[in-house]
Amino acid sequence: MENTEVVKPETLDELIKILHEIFESDHINVDEVKAVMEAYESNPQEWKQYAKFDKYRYTRNLVDEGNGKFNLIVLCWGEGHGSSIHDHTDSHCFMKMLQGELKETQFEWPDSKSQGDMVQKSQRILQENKVAYINDSIGLHRVENASHTEGAISLHLYSPPFQTCQTFDQRTGHRTTVKMTFWSKFGERTPFETTVSQENN
Amino acid sequence: MEIHEGAAAAGDSVLDFSRLNLNTFSADSVSDERKRDTKQLYLNNNRLASLPSSVSVFCNLEFLDISNNGLTAICEDITRLTRLKTLIAKNNRLDEFSLPKEFGSLQLEVLNFSGNRFEEIPLEFMKLLRLQSLSLGGNRLKSIPAEIENLTSLELLYLGGNLISAIPPEVANLPYLSYLVLCDNRIQSVPPQLTRLHSLRSLSLHNNLLTYLPREILSLVHLQELSLRGNPLVVRFVKEMTYDPPSLLELAGRTIKSRNIPYSPCDLPSNLLRYLDLASKCPNPKCAGVYFDSCVRHIKFVDFCGKYRLPLMHYLCSPECTSPCSSNPQSDAESEDESSVPADRLQRVLLG
């Protein structure tokens, strides 16, 4: 099948409803999820209450908990903000651009005894409304807003949900486990959750 | 020109004329009341080639967005907006010659000229004493003027995506600076004076030409974000360090200081007294040595959490002087004497 035919979600709420239905089943068709997320045309009115930016670093704003099957999160990246190289703790990761562009750089997993720079696999710019997919068997990635003039906003779906992941030092391949936190949940700022940044940049 | 329906609905003090393909902007159709009450004016994403003088009729204007036009100049009349606090002019064709003479008289707190063609930060900006946030990302800046220290209210300085090759130490004189962005430039070294930026929370240095950092960076107590990726940071211990052997004058001075040989003004000519006052203490805590001009630039690898190595540079009085805990100076996994740096601070500085 060349094109995965899907129902086009007309609004963000419809997208969430369709995702709930898709994730009822235990087996995930990655292409189906990608197609339905890509089919949703980003409308700022529908997600602006989740689009909370921070001056110093990117923010993670929880939109929906997917009945425990997935987390749907809006990420807001100020100019120049970027993430560590990280894994996805054995989960699926879908990332859709809602506004602006993000640069994704994929890396190979470092060897357990590797001492040198991590090996870059690929790099691409993700444009508005496009969806990228990654999981641990594909590799690791770093995501960053390379623009010095525009913020960027992305919609992420992680299934199953996870609270910790590993971050990697690009120059040595060394890894640490970090805890992930939310800047806001369901449109409400959740300040006491935020800890000191554990990004490796 | 009709008032855009959206503009009226947005609220009494907001006028939205963005994304209307405007070539010109005249405020003729705006009521006098509206002219007085408008605090925020959006003119972004149009086709204005120059900032129209008509904006000056909005005498109480506090926020003006003229981004994404084709602006090549900003009119003198903008200086009549005495209440203007925020000016956003991203993605235009402005440079340091585009500004009106008295631009520095504005009471601006936030200024964003990112995505323009500035080759220099104009000195007019240095008169904006209330400026808290200055963004000049994505321009063609080659340097940062020392006069930047005049902007004593500055909290955010975004200079990413330029052609800057050095950071003037005067940046360290900005007492409230909390966010300093210098990524995507051509910076080869970081002045150790930056250690004085006690309020610094986030320092962005990725994609530059740094091979090491000054040891003093460890003193940035509140630093929570540090980006270093995309720099040619030294990963192996560098054995060959340049070292000019000390002169006889220096050797004599070192002996006097390290052995506490007493002397008084009547013993020595004044030039030698001044020289002796210039002695610097060797940063090695276990070494009581001093140096004057001749010192070794030593790159040491500081190990954090046993995992990350940050190449820091400091000055030692001689090649034989080494850190107290490194028994083998050739090792490329030397550890910092951890009692000298609090553990919680170690964990916060993340390396890449």
What are the DSSP calls for A18-74, one per residue? HHHHHTTSSS--HHHHHHHHHHSPP-HHHHGGG----SSS-EEEEEE-GGGT-EEEE
Nearest to B42 by CA among B59, B25, B57, B28: B25
In A, which residues are within 8 Å of B184 by CB distance? 80, 148
**CA angle in degrees (0–180, nearest 5) for A102-A104-A109:** 155
Q: How far apart are CA B132 and CA B127, in angstroms?
A: 13
State whether A171 and B179 contact (CB < 8 Å): no
The token pair at A137 is 């068997």
Calculate the CA A162 to chain-centre distance. 12
State whether B227 and A79 contact (CB < 8 Å): no
Whether the CB-CB separation of B69 and B21 falls below 8 Å is answered with no
What percent of chain A is modeled with pLDDT above 90?
75
Q: Give the tens place of pLDDT for each residue, A104-116.
A: 999 999 987 666 7
pLDDT of residue B101: 92
pLDDT of residue B216: 77
In A, which residues are within 8 Å of B348 by CB distance? 196-197
B24 touches chain A (CB under 8 A): no
Q: How far apart are CA B328 and CA B278, in angstroms?
A: 32
User: Which residue among B114, B201, B350 sits closest to A56, beta carbon to beta carbon?
Assistant: B201
State whether B114 and A148 contact (CB < 8 Å): yes
**CA angle in degrees (0–180, nearest 5) for A183-A185-A186:** 140
Q: How far apart are CA A98 and CA A145, in angstroms?
A: 13
Q: Give the tens place of pLDDT for each residue, B93-112.
A: 999 999 999 999 999 999 99
Region of B319 please: left (phi>0), alpha (psi -120 to 50) or beta. alpha
Domain presence at residue B282 = yes
In B, which residues are within 8 Å of A171 by CB distance? 233, 235, 351-352
DSSP A133: E
The ipTM value here is 0.89
pLDDT of residue A170: 86
Domain presence at residue B259 = yes
State whether B90 and A55 contact (CB < 8 Å): no
Count CB-CB contacts under 10 A for residue B11: 11
**CA angle in degrees (0–180, nearest 5) for B316-B320-B326:** 85
Domain presence at residue B176 = no
Domain presence at residue B251 = yes
Domain residue limits at B257? 246-293
| Chunked mean pLDDT (size 10), chain A, 201 residues | 72 96 92 96 97 93 95 96 93 97 96 79 97 97 96 97 90 85 93 62 69
pLDDT of residue A117: 83
In B, which residues are within 8 Å of A148 by CB distance? 114-115, 137-138, 158, 160-161, 184
Residue A27 annotated as lining a ligand binding site: no
Per the document, the length of chain B is 352
Whether the CB-CB separation of B56 and B30 falls below 8 Å is answered with no
Query: Can you tell me which residue has the tokens 């909390």?
Result: B178
In A, which residues are within 8 Å of B137 by CB distance? 79-80, 148-149
Please list the residues that pair with A81 across neighbouring strands: none
B220 touches chain A (CB under 8 A): no
Please list the residues that pair with A176 across neighbouring strands: A167
How many domains does the structure of chain B reveal? 1
Whether the CB-CB separation of B137 and B161 falls below 8 Å is answered with yes
In B, which residues are within 8 Å of A176 by CB distance? 305, 307
Q: Could you tell me which residues of chain A have a Cβ less than 8 Å from any Cβ in chain B?
A: 55-57, 79-80, 82, 84, 116, 142, 147-149, 169-172, 174, 176, 196-201
> Average pLDDT over chain B, rounded to whole?
81
pLDDT of residue B240: 41
- Output the CA torsion A33→A36→A40→A44 (10° steps): -20
Whether the CB-CB separation of B66 and B48 falls below 8 Å is answered with yes
Please list the residues that pair with A97 across neighbouring strands: A154
Q: Give the tens place of pLDDT for each residue, B168-212.
A: 999 999 999 999 999 999 999 899 899 899 899 899 999 999 887
Domain presence at residue B164 = no
Domain presence at residue B81 = no
Higher pLDDT, B323 or A18: A18
DSSP A109: P
Angle between helix B248-258 and helix B270-277 axes, rounded to 10 deg: 70
Which CB contacts under 8 angstroms, 24+ apart, belong to B201-206?
A: B201/A56, B201/B225, B202/A55, B202/A56, B202/A57, B202/B178, B202/B226, B203/B227, B204/A80, B204/B160, B204/B180, B205/B231, B206/A82, B206/A201, B206/B230, B206/B231, B206/B352
Domain presence at residue B263 = yes
User: Which residue among A79, A169, A201 sits closest to B137, beta carbon to beta carbon?
Assistant: A79
State mean pLDDT over B284-311.
Answer: 59
Nearest to B17 by CA among B59, B65, B53, B51: B65
Sequence-ordered list of residues with C-beta below 8 angstroms from that of B153, at least 6 positions apart, any chain: B109, B129, B130, B131, B132, B176
Q: Which residue type does A92 have?
A: H
Collapsed DSSP state (helix, strand, coil) of residue B299:
strand
Domain presence at residue B323 = no
Higher pLDDT, B29 or B143: B143
Residue A88 annotated as lining a ligand binding site: yes
The backbone torsions φ and ψ at residue A20, rounded to the nearest 5 degrees and listed phi first, read -55, -45
Residue B241 has pLDDT above 70, yes or no: no
Largest CA distance in chain B: 88
Residue A92 annotated as lining a ligand binding site: no
In B, which residues are within 8 Å of A197 by CB distance? 224-225, 348, 350
pLDDT of residue B322: 56
State whether A149 and B114 contact (CB < 8 Å): yes
Please list the residues that pair with A94 across neighbouring strands: A133, A157
Q: What residue in A sits closest to B92 (Cα-Cα)?
A: A149
